[in-house]
Homo-oligomer: A and B are copies of this chain.
Amino acid sequence: MKKENINIHKNLKIIGLVAKNGENIAVIEEFFASRGIEILVEKNSAKKIGKKGFSLDEICKKTNFIISLGGDGTLISTCRQVVGKDVYVLGIHDGTLGFLTDIKMNDMQSFFTQFFAGIYEIERPLMLDVVFKKNGGKNIKRVAFNDVVITRNTISSMSKVDTYLNGKYFNTYYGDGVIVSSPAGSTAYNMSANGPIIYPLSNVFCITPICSHSLTQRPLVLPNEHELSFKNVDENEVAIVIDGQDVFDMNKFDEVCIHLGNTHANLIRHLNRDYFSVLKEKLHWGHNGGKA
């Protein structure tokens, strides 16, 4: 858990904006115009309101502060695109409370009053590093914010993948597939597949079978120094899906290696934001826990 204050709120002249929908873009532009700050709208977001916009690369050259307007999916996509850059992302949601975006449009005023006074935190949840390896070919590298899902490519088949831990064979997953989840991703697909909830700023990650054919397969939590690698050992096609957004064909590679460790996102959070409050609200935990 790294929580620290830095100085991104000082001398802020430009903010980037990625938006899932077009509707609140103007509101945000106006909000910051009155504070003398220019909003650079990302080009796909700008298209939604019939404007031109900027690429994320252009934006990152001019500012290290980006607002993600939408749900957790929009924030995740933004973080993945700016990975490795010294860029800070703030999630604002215009609908459903998310694990990552817990500031409402309506709370913007009060949040930014605090923010410009230096009252905020940076959270750095660890992401997964994914390397697709091919003999004689070039490795492809990606990061996953939530999860890497290794799964059957057609709905009527099963996947069967051999799994190695630090280069040594340790298990074969046979069934619908397997999820490798970052700590922050543990409340996403991982939780639906009976994986544990992991505090998002932990330095462990989880491998969870999806509808395993064998009844003894269970979720396994590993410290960040371990590396998992997967090989397809069946004639069936297997797909690798990163954050539900990027899909790869496993048969094009010899091996896929995944570990938690070197890469993290930079999230701006309100001070004392409480992960467990979100958990309670989303899962109905709490005093009436006795009622189903």
Per-position binary interface string of chain A over residues 43-73, scored 1 when its CB falls under 8 Å from any chain B CB and 0 otherwise: 0000000000000000000000000000000
Taking the full assembly, how many copies of this chain does it contain?
4
The CA-CA distance from A245 to B286 in the complex, in Å, is 28
Min Cβ gap A176→B in Å is 7
Q: Are A226 and B204 in contact (CB under 8 A)?
A: no
A273 at interface, CB cutoff 8 A? no
Binds B, one of A31-39, A84-92, A112-120, A212-220: A212-220
**What is the interface of chain A mostly: helix, strand, loop, or mixed?**
mixed
Q: Point out which of A170, A186, A225, A274 has the most chain B C-beta atoms below 10 A from its C-beta.
A: A170
Per-position binary interface string of chain A over residues 268-292, scored 1 when its CB falls under 8 Å from any chain B CB and 0 otherwise: 0000001010011011111111111
Q: Are B211 and A223 in contact (CB under 8 A)?
A: no
Q: Are B175 and A199 in contact (CB under 8 A)?
A: no
Nearest to A206 among chain B residues (CB) is B196
A257 at interface, CB cutoff 8 A? no
Nearest to A292 among chain B residues (CB) is B282
Per-position binary interface string of chain A over residues 189-222, scored 1 when its CB falls under 8 Å from any chain B CB and 0 otherwise: 1011111111101111010001111111111111
For A291, the chain B residues whose CB sits under 8 A away are 96, 213-214, 282
For A284, the chain B residues whose CB sits under 8 A away are 214, 216, 284
A21 at interface, CB cutoff 8 A? no
Name A's B-contacting residues (CB within 8 A).
1, 96, 149, 151-153, 155-156, 160, 162, 165, 168, 170-176, 183, 186, 189, 191-199, 201-204, 206, 210-223, 225-226, 239, 241, 244-245, 247, 274, 276, 279-280, 282-292
Pick 14 A–B contacts, CB within 8 A, sort by A.
A165-B276, A170-B286, A174-B289, A183-B221, A192-B213, A194-B194, A199-B204, A199-B226, A206-B221, A212-B289, A214-B292, A215-B216, A217-B283, A217-B289
Given contacts A214-B284, A217-B285, 7 further A-B contacts (CB under 8 A): A155-B155, A165-B276, A191-B215, A192-B211, A192-B212, A202-B223, A218-B283
